[in-house]
Chain A
């Protein structure tokens, strides 16, 4: 095409010189060009725009199948899987539950949930470079393909145990739930505000351990309110079963809201 190229080593030359000399060089808007031979391009894209597009696709597919979805997040060891075992059993015939189980490399959690009557699909997150700490919309999309959505009312996406990364990645959920163990101390809402701010409900787990801890519930709830004034709080123990009914009621309300609402 007779175009001049400037290579990274500084050489400038043209290919296929066909006498279309660059008489167009002074034509057009060159205001975005700087003196150093670079052009500044306005990108103005959200950093996670691609993830969010796929998350929206997930949300549309789930809504079309009549499935309500909750993104379950917590630090490692807060009790997501234990609470989920209780939850699946307690919901029993009331709701058909599906679980997308995010795990770095193992099927330990998925195995712990099998045989309880819920559909389980495992999403190992070790495949993507830099993606091992959370589920993103693409991983969830792959997992959805392994579930029979038509026979699920409530999908629980059990995210990877981590207080940082899962908070930033929309996966197409209707609501975000957080499990927080009282063994984690009172100050975490201020240290990990992104996750606490986005939670619709915070299940304060392991309350059976309170007599053995210095955990101050008032201080924790104050910190939580400081970053998230509107989240519902449920006190629970996956070990004793305390609070599981209230948690199941919250999930049932979420699932019912979908059925009442006309499909778009």
Chain B
């Protein structure tokens, strides 16, 4: 029997750790206040679980108190045949208008650290 709750949290822990490693490297010792990430809905990341993992990982670290802003980008496809855009509810890449599978993915696979806000260095 798979403990699915744990499975999800562990996955987000690994993703959170990867974000943390990159942010720490880029911050180079400066105080980081906010990290903004863009994660598409086709990635299997549960925002609440990632938020929870982030608090756990940063607590007691140099990034303690740093907020994480998750832009959970909807999965959108564009139909090659009729040109319609469809926002997907299911991970099925199909046109919502003419039902063809001949579509291109416009968004939904993002997995990016977009920006980070660091304390301004007065020089």
- 25 inter-chain pairs at a CB distance below 8 angstroms, sorted by A residue, are A6-B122, A22-B122, A22-B123, A37-B120, A39-B117, A39-B119, A43-B22, A44-B114, A45-B113, A46-B113, A47-B112, A48-B15, A48-B111, A130-B10, A133-B11, A164-B7, A165-B10, A165-B14, A168-B44, A168-B111, A190-B90, A190-B92, A193-B42, A194-B42, A226-B94
- B8 x A164 contact (CB < 8 A): yes
Interface of B (DSSP majority class): mixed
Question: A28 — nearest CB in chain B belongs to which residue?
Answer: B123
**Neighbour of B22 across the interface among A24, A47, A169, A229, CB < 8 A:** A47
Residues of B within 8 A of A167 (CB): 44
- A43 x B23 contact (CB < 8 A): yes
- A197 x B91 contact (CB < 8 A): yes
- A130 x B122 contact (CB < 8 A): no
Question: A8 — nearest CB in chain B belongs to which residue?
Answer: B31
Question: A41 — nearest CB in chain B belongs to which residue?
Answer: B116
Task: Give residues of chain A (32-88) contacting chain B, Cβ–Cβ below 8 Å.
Answer: 33-34, 37-51, 75-76
A130 with B13: in contact, given A41-B115, A51-B18 (CB under 8 Å)? Answer: yes
B31 vs chain A, min Cβ distance (A): 6
- The total of chain A residues at the interface (CB under 8 A) is 49
A48 with B26: in contact, given A25-B123, A39-B120, A130-B13 (CB under 8 Å)? Answer: no
- A38 x B115 contact (CB < 8 A): no
- A40 x B117 contact (CB < 8 A): yes
**Neighbour of B14 across the interface among A40, A130, A192, A227, CB < 8 A:** A130
- A190 x B111 contact (CB < 8 A): no
Residues of B within 8 A of A33 (CB): 120
B58 CB–A CB distance under 8 Å: no
B84 CB–A CB distance under 8 Å: no
Residues of A within 8 A of B (CB): 3-6, 8, 12, 22, 24-25, 33-34, 37-51, 75-76, 129-134, 136, 162, 164-165, 167-169, 190, 192-194, 197, 226-227, 229
Residues of B within 8 A of A (CB): 2, 7-8, 10-11, 13-19, 21-23, 26, 31, 33-34, 37, 39, 42-44, 53, 57, 90-94, 101, 111-123
- B119 x A168 contact (CB < 8 A): no
Question: A12 — nearest CB in chain B belongs to which residue?
Answer: B122
Residues of A within 8 A of B93 (CB): 226-227
**Neighbour of B113 across the interface among A43, A165, A190, CB < 8 A:** A43
A194 with B44: in contact, given A22-B122, A50-B21, A164-B8 (CB under 8 Å)? Answer: yes
Given known contacts A6-B119, A42-B114, A75-B2, what 20 new A-B pairs fall within 8 Å (CB)? A8-B31, A22-B123, A39-B117, A39-B121, A40-B115, A44-B112, A44-B113, A45-B113, A46-B111, A46-B112, A47-B22, A47-B39, A76-B2, A129-B17, A132-B10, A133-B11, A167-B44, A168-B11, A190-B91, A190-B92
**Neighbour of A48 across the interface among B18, B53, B90, CB < 8 A:** B18
**Bound Cα distance from A8 to B65, whole angstroms:** 11
Question: A131 — nearest CB in chain B belongs to which residue?
Answer: B14
**Bound Cα distance from A226 to B122, whole angstroms:** 55
- B17 x A130 contact (CB < 8 A): yes
- A192 x B92 contact (CB < 8 A): no
**Bound Cα distance from A227 to B13, whole angstroms:** 26
Residues of B within 8 A of A227 (CB): 91-93
- B113 x A47 contact (CB < 8 A): yes
**Bound Cα distance from A133 to B113, whole angstroms:** 23
- A165 x B26 contact (CB < 8 A): no
**Bound Cα distance from A47 to B34, whole angstroms:** 16
